[in-house]
Amino acid sequence: MLKIGELNDSFYFSLLIGLAGVVVGVAVGFGAGAVPVYVGLLLGVVAVIAFFFLRFEQAVLSLLVLRSSLDPFSAQQVPAAFAIGLDGLAILYVIVQILIRRKVHTDKFFWFFAGWVAFLAIWLVLPILGWGILGKTYLMDGIREWVRIFSWLMVYLLLMQLKGRIHPQKAITALFFSMIVPLTVGLLQVFTPSLLPPVLACKCVDSTIGHPSAFGSFLFLFISLTLWKLGHAPKRWPWMILLSLNAFLMVMTKSLTSLLMFTIFIIALIAPKLNPLRFIGGILFIVVVFYIFASTEFGHEKLNAVLETPIFNRELDLSRTILLSAGDGNSANWRIAQWTFLIEAWKQSPLLGYGLATSKFITIERNFAHNDYIRFLAEGGIIGLISFIVFLGVKMLHLIKCLRSSPVLSPRRRLSFIMIAIFVAMLVGMMTDNVWTHTTLFFYWYLLFAVLGWEPKYWKMERSE
């Protein structure tokens, strides 16, 4: 028998569905004679919303799995539409939960994350008020950047609502389905080079993620998760095959940043419990991956380019490096020049910078920063950079808290170790590349971040396979 509270919840939910049906009916009636295409689109949206509320767990996981296949349609604004649609569904779901007096799951990190995202909106308001060297020139770019970050917050919020409704390990395992399309396309590009985008002169594999470096970081994240699965999976051989396939494709992206992140990850992972076996195994794995990378012509050139920088070549100073970067084809020297130009530009607006997503417009290179810390310094000034560092620091503290609150040898504790190592690797990768722009990487990162934050009691739930 239904309790009074449950009966009221059911009544309010039915009332909301009824009102929504009336609104849709009126809209369809008025639109049928005007623009039939819009009517079809509206009915499609209604179907998605209905599925979202009636099969919430399946709908959320299906949408999250779908995200890794959308970047090839960026020219048609599909990823942007997906992000906005997902944001709308998350907000609508929370509103409905509040109206029918059901609990909305959040945690302390969510509110900190939400406060930081709200704080970033300052760099959208100030240009509207007439502040800044660039004024409103690149305001739309800033709005798109803010919405992109806001979408990660909504992903976090959505996953929090699955707490108690699905086992954490089952939710994480479902994410591996998001690899099916990227891995398939990546392998096709390896064995059928004609499928590679013409703009990629290096013949680097980018799959469905849109850029080789972004695909490399995506693979790096799932290599890390695969290692976690290997720690407690009853059948290890399927995960070993997946691990080998991911490592092979990560090398074929020819992304030195991804390999650097992977190296830092292995070091961070084995450092707390270092023993001869772990040390030898970690070193051998790193050596094999780098050997395969260096054996390619592109990889050999990349490694040589790093050696021809002021860090390793004492005959080069900063001024000469900047001069050479214009025509020597050395991407490492080009990065040093770009960082120098951005710092010089930042000095013109040191406190608040130039605004969100403006770093690619304020130097003669007209390109991304290739260093996320310098990017935040140029775009947000000293205040923006400090807020970014504080945000990263709180994330690390949250991961450590999850680690300490997990039982010894539990899957949650092992995942905490894995994610701390991933995070350390990401912090290093941000020094040499545009890791912050890797939308797909952070989409799944914050999804994992939310699941890890579920209290240990939810990890002890009986799994329903």
As averages over each run of 10 residues, the pLDDT of the chain (465 residues) reads 38 44 41 48 66 84 89 84 89 91 93 97 92 88 95 95 90 92 91 68 79 93 93 86 92 86 87 71 72 68 64 58 58 83 94 94 90 96 97 97 91 94 95 94 95 88 54
pLDDT at residue 366 in the model = 86
pLDDT at residue 15 in the model = 43
d(CA 120, CA 351): 14
Cβ 412 vs Cβ 263: under 8 Å:
no
pLDDT at residue 423 in the model = 97
Which helix (H) or strand (E) segment is 208 a member of? none
pLDDT at residue 330 in the model = 66
Query: Who's near 117: CB < 8 A, 6+ residues apart?
Result: 146, 149, 150, 153
Q: pTM for this structure?
A: 0.85
d(CA 389, CA 209): 27
The CB-side HSE value for 290 (13 A sphere, CA atoms) comes to: 15
pLDDT at residue 19 in the model = 42
d(CA 29, CA 22): 11
Tokens describing residue 61: 């996981």
CA nearest neighbour of 265 among 238, 225, 293, 233: 225
Query: Who's near 361: CB < 8 A, 6+ residues apart?
Result: 134, 137, 138, 141, 354
Query: Who's near 160: CB < 8 A, 6+ residues apart?
Result: 105, 106, 107, 110, 450, 453
pLDDT at residue 20 in the model = 46
Long-range pairs, 72-80, Cβ under 8 A, ≥24: 72/208, 72/210, 74/210, 79/439, 80/144, 80/147
Tokens describing residue 242: 């997946």
pLDDT at residue 11 in the model = 43
pLDDT at residue 319 in the model = 58
pLDDT at residue 334 in the model = 82
What DSSP letter does each residue of 173-185 carry, written as one string? Answer: HHHGGGGHHHHHH
Tokens describing residue 300: 């050999």
Long-range pairs, 269-278, Cβ under 8 A, ≥24: 269/227, 269/417, 269/418, 269/421, 272/417
pLDDT at residue 182 in the model = 93
Amino acid at 331: S
Query: Who's near 432: CB < 8 A, 6+ residues apart?
Result: 257, 260, 335, 370, 371
Alpha helices in 73-201 (DSSP H): 78-99, 108-120, 122-128, 139-160, 168-175, 180-191
Residue 460: how many other CB atoms lie within 10 Å: 12
pLDDT at residue 26 in the model = 38
From residue 242, give the alpha-carbon distance in Å to each of 222, 229, 328, 381: 9, 11, 39, 43
Alpha helices in 164-255 (DSSP H): 168-175, 180-191, 212-230, 237-252
pLDDT at residue 16 in the model = 45
